[in-house]
Structure 1
C-alpha cells in the first residue's frame, strides 16, 4: 500500500510540473485543465506528505488545493449560460431556419447600406396538390 502512495506522490509531482511547463511554454492556457492538474497534484502531495509526516508540505498543498478549487468554482460560475451566450454570438446562415427569434441583417445588393428586417417566426407551409391540368380561368378550391 505504501508503494501506491509513493506512486500517487510522484504522479502529483508530474501533474503539477507538466501543467506549469505547458502554461509557461504557451502550449496551454491557465484555464480549467491547468487548475485540474494542480488540484490533482495537490491532493496527491497531501496524501504523500501526510504519510511521511512532512507537515510544511501538507500545509502548502492544502493551500494549493484550496486556491485551485476556488479558481475552478469561479470559472464554473462565469461559464454559465449567460456567459456562454455573451461570448459566442449566434450565427445565422442563409437558408437555415432561425430559431433564435433575433433580427436578420439583409444586405441590399445595389447599395452598401445594410437593411435590418425582422425574421418571420414561421415560414408558410408549402401547399402540395395533385390536380389535373386546369383550363385558364379555373380556380382550385383549397
Structure 2
C-alpha cells in the first residue's frame, strides 16, 4: 500500500510540473486544464505528505488545492454567466438559409394583377422590375 502512496506523490509532482511547464512555454493557457492539473497534483501531494509526516508540505498543498478549487469554481460560474440567451433565427428574403432547418413555404394562390410590365399588389405600391 505504501508503494501506491509513493506513486501518488510522484504522479502529483508530474501533474503540477507538467502544467507549470506547459503554461510557461505557452503550450497551454492558464485555464481549466492548468487548474485541474494543480488540483489533482496537490491532492496527491497532500496524501503523500501526510503519510510521511511532512506537515509544511501538507499545509502548502492544502492552500494550493483551495486556490485551484476556487479558480475552477469561478471559471465555471463565469462561463455560465457568459452563455448567450437563445436568439430567434430571422430569415431575410433573398438570403439563403444556412441553419440547415427545413423551411415551410406557403404557395401563392391568388394571382397578382399585372399593370404594364410590373406586378401590382392589391392595395399597394407598384413593384419595380
- TM normalised by structure 2 equals 0.69
Q: Say how many residue pairs are matched.
A: 101
Determine if the alignment matches structure 1 residue 124 to structure 2 residue 105.
yes
Q: State the alpha-carbon separation in 1 of the partners of residues 30 and 11 from structure 2.
A: 20
Match of 1:113 in 2: none
Q: Which runs of 5+ in 1 are unaligned?
A: 91-99, 108-121, 128-142
Match of 1:28 in 2: 28
Q: Aligned to 1:6, what secondary structure does the other structure show?
A: helix
Q: State the alpha-carbon separation in 2 of the partners of residues 9 and 101 from structure 1.
A: 52
- TM normalised by structure 1 equals 0.63
Q: State the alpha-carbon separation in 2 of the partners of residues 123 and 60 from structure 1.
A: 63
Q: Aligned to 2:61, what secondary structure does the other structure show?
A: helix
Q: Which runs of 5+ in 2 are unaligned?
A: 95-102, 109-129
Q: Aligned to 2:84, what secondary structure does the other structure show?
A: helix
Q: Aligned to 1:26, what secondary structure does the other structure show?
A: coil
Aligned counterpart in structure 2 of residue 101 of structure 1, from 71, 76, 88: 88
User: C-alpha root-mean-square deviation of aligned residues, in Å?
Assistant: 2.7
Check 1:126–1:31 CA distance in 2 against 1; reply closer, same or farther (3 A cut): farther
Match of 2:4 in 1: 4
Match of 2:51 in 1: 51
